[in-house]
A = this chain, B = another copy of it.
């Protein structure tokens, strides 16, 4: 099982140098040595977020950072507009409801992206909306939301702009300062290709003003405490951090710098384009509209007459490649191929070779090599 290739929308395969970094001795997280490591990791996170604002590392999953984003900004008297077009959009709305926030859901058909116009209409209709939450990349549907264009709309309103880039940062275009994002959150185990267990968050000056005013009903995710501890000398976290995972994240961020962030994003886009062409060449149907298709995960409709067990079961048990299934009402109706993190043509070649064989073995009348041939053609075109 150790040789199973993870082609999931997180967790992703982690490079050997990143894994090795986690085996270093634990240092005191209140000491100088850790302060330097923590500062450097936060600074690198800000570079990847493309922001001049401070970033913070949370010892939690991305969901923890989503809760930090919402609960520090708004409370029971506030209203939030939550774009919901997939499982993680739903999660943002659920988190807000948990904190007693009045949530207006902007429903988007799963498999399509929200339009900036729809956000504008909602903001025009209600001036009490304090913040808008958007999931950049819905791994549940394989859709990327137009966060740059929504950002242009947001600039005309007072509402804060909260964006979940958990499964896009490092794999799709994100520019926190240029897009006018006020609160941006991400996770370690997606396009950053670090081990699971860490999240990061960055807040604009406008967001901090609301944090100051808001009496956050969360202790562990209270951002004021993160800011105060981050300003100490040596820099630190308010509560014990995952020191080993931060070693890993720092190494992974170093790998991103070496590759170049723009090169990395372009690689993800090419991965996605090649994957879509391979899917179609195998006679399969894409779930998400191509105009809003994710650069980090491709959702595929389950072929007629086949089940999860047929497709994903064979891929895993016979070919040692793990694909993701559908979530909630999409369970059994789609499967998903993650192509984020360190993935390039090699992993996709293995995946689509195996997928061609799997479909043939499941009785589909296809040319097994058609997918990987289309993949190669796309990579050659660039």
Contact = CB atoms under 8 A, between A and B. Distances in A.
Contact of A26 (B61, B100, B196, B198): B196
Contact of A218 (B98, B239, B243): B98
A59 B220 CA distance: 12
Given A64-B60, A218-B98, A197 B241 contact: yes
A135 to B, nearest CB: 15
Q: What copy number does this chain have within its complex? A: 2
Nearest to A96: B219
Main secondary structure of the interface of A (DSSP, over half): loop
Contact of A67 (B94, B219, B244): B219
Contact of A197 (B11, B23, B59, B221): B59
A27 B195 CA distance: 10
A205 interface: no
A28 interface: yes
B61 A239 contact: yes
Interface in A231-275: 238-245, 248
Contacts of A95: 219
A2 B23 contact: no
A50 interface: no
A128 interface: no
Contacts of A380: none
Interface stretch (A12-20, A103-111, A362-370): A12-20
A328 interface: no
Given A27-B1, A98-B217, A196 B60 contact: no
Most buried by B among A24, A98, A197: A197
Contacts of A4: 27-28
A187 interface: yes
A29 B10 CA distance: 9
Contact of A196 (B12, B29, B31, B189): B29
A6 B24 contact: no
A4 B23 CA distance: 16
A28 B195 contact: no
A292 interface: no
A33 interface: yes
18 contacts: A1-B27, A8-B28, A11-B27, A11-B29, A14-B26, A19-B26, A20-B23, A59-B60, A61-B220, A62-B240, A63-B220, A63-B239, A64-B220, A98-B218, A196-B242, A197-B245, A218-B218, A244-B245
